[in-house]
Amino acid sequence: MNRRKFLSRTVLLTGALTLNPFDLFGKKYDERLNFKGKKAKNIIFMISDGMSNGTLSMANLYSKNILGKETHWMNLYLENKVSRALMDTASASSIVTDSAAASSSFGSGFRVNNGSLNVGINGEHYLPIWQKFKKKGKKAGCVTTVTITHATPAGFCINSAKRSAEPDIAEMYGEFGFDFMMGGGDEFFNPEKRTDKKDVYAAYQKRGYQILKNRSDLKNIDKNKPVLGVFNTGALPYTIDRNNTPNLQHMPTLAEMAKAAIEHMKDNKEGFVLQIEAGKVDWAAHANDVSALLHDQLAFDEAIKVAMAFAEKDKNTLVIITTDHGNANPGTIYGADATKNFNSIAHYKCTNEYLLNNLHADFNIQQVKDWIAENNQISVYDDEAKRILNFYNGIEKDEEGLYNYKKLPYRAFSEIQKKHNSVGWISMDHSSDYVELAIYGPGSEFLQPFVKNTDLHYLMLKAAEVENNF
């Protein structure tokens, strides 16, 4: 290198290092320093379940290219508002966790075997963190786009040897007196759908709970009563299907549930703790369903907006934004038309779940091609349409996907879509890759650049100045 140029660059760098560090790191850095030594009165823990780094990246690409704006999550990085780390998500039994063990790591501070909820490898019952905060007078709640009894909310709240014990978990929430619980799962509360015919809704009402069944009910919440909101049998619909189907719009969005929860609990003298989960991001990854994935990730991003708006105004709220594990590791693939192909996802009218559920064995090849063209705006070859049809005629059966109860040809269809949208997947299941973690507010100064999932349990206790002596 030319010596004069080298010296010139050295002088520029030296000059930069003499600047106020706030000028180097961004105007929000001084705000972050102001949280040092402050106690977190409230905690909002946000989980985009099954969000690989590729999901986060593609959602931001879609938002920029199609919607003309950065995502709220990415803006937190661009404006240097948050502390940021990578997180190891392993469980006690595997380098690849399931959601129960992952949530239990946050909930108990210990790694447990996959499938367990805060029950140790030798049967130990660890007190879940939302119960710890309840004992200190805080209100506690969870909102999710899957069943409220599912693994991720349950991992913050209860103990169970089996994550599948959702009928029991439905009863436990009321017994422990959690203050605000919302999601799907009517089949675990409704006596007409439970195998034991027990009316769990009635049990909640006897405990003073307000029961919500419709999006419009969010406008009339009684702040003096704990809330149970159950809006669907099974999970709530995917965002893109909900947005494009009028008869699904009686169910609330994740952002609407998050806002209602914060409004309900924010005036409690001792504060509140709230988990917000985008559970169907994980389900979409299991299905290799790109339109479901991106739109539910963007719906989670709207919930980030709600949480951050409250936290920035409140100044006493710790916001943790992360995932519990990766899933299927989707990503965009190099090619001359990669940008154009990826942007074509904006033309998709529905999820692959909706599209494939509405194909039938009596369709002919042209009808299959027409249905795909109508919903994805792409043209497929006859042999591709025939292969999809083979699944409905029993000729092909080997389809995976954890929540693929109808054995729909998710993998085969995503391979066809890949030629048109340049999005690939490594599998239809969880992965062990390290995941993104962003923290804002009092306690964020405790975050190290690389953490284990269990570390967040103790970070929350430390930030709220709660002794771990339960």
Helices and strands in the chain, H and E counts: 20, 14
pLDDT at site 28: 59
pLDDT at site 20: 46
In the chain, the largest separation of any two C-alpha atoms, in whole Å, equals 84
DSSP code of 143?
Answer: E
pLDDT at site 31: 64
Band (19; pLDDT cuts 50, 70, 90) = very low
pLDDT at site 105: 98
User: What are the tens digits of pLDDT across the range 262-302?
Assistant: 999 999 999 999 999 999 999 999 999 999 999 999 999 99
End-to-end CA distance of the chain: 63
Q: Which domains does the chain have, with CATH numbers?
A: 31-330+430-463 (3.40.720.10), 333-424 (no CATH)
Residue 81 clears pLDDT 90, i.e. is over it:
yes
Do 53 and 435 form a contact (C-beta atoms < 8 A)? yes
290: number of Cβ within 10 Å: 25
Residue 22 clears pLDDT 70, i.e. is over it:
no
Residues 6+ apart with CB under 8 A from 255: 299, 302, 303, 305, 306
d(CA 417, CA 421): 6
In terms of pLDDT, which residue wins out, 364 or 32?
A: 364
d(CA 237, CA 345): 19
d(CA 102, CA 60): 25
In terms of pLDDT, which residue wins out, 403 or 83?
A: 83
pLDDT at site 335: 94
Nearest to 44 by CA among 268, 276, 298: 276
pLDDT at site 404: 85
Q: What is the pTM of this model?
A: 0.93
User: What are the tens digits of pLDDT across the range 149-172?
Assistant: 999 999 999 999 999 999 999 999
Residue 16 clears pLDDT 50, i.e. is over it:
no
395-403 contact pairs (CB < 8 A, 24+): 400/428, 400/429, 401/286, 401/287, 401/288, 401/428, 402/283, 402/286, 402/428, 402/429, 403/283, 403/286, 403/287
User: What are the tens digits of pLDDT across the range 313-363?
Assistant: 999 999 999 999 999 999 999 999 999 999 999 999 999 999 999 999 999
Residue 120 clears pLDDT 80, i.e. is over it:
yes
pLDDT at site 231: 98
Residue 453 clears pLDDT 70, i.e. is over it:
yes
Tokens of 322: 């992360």
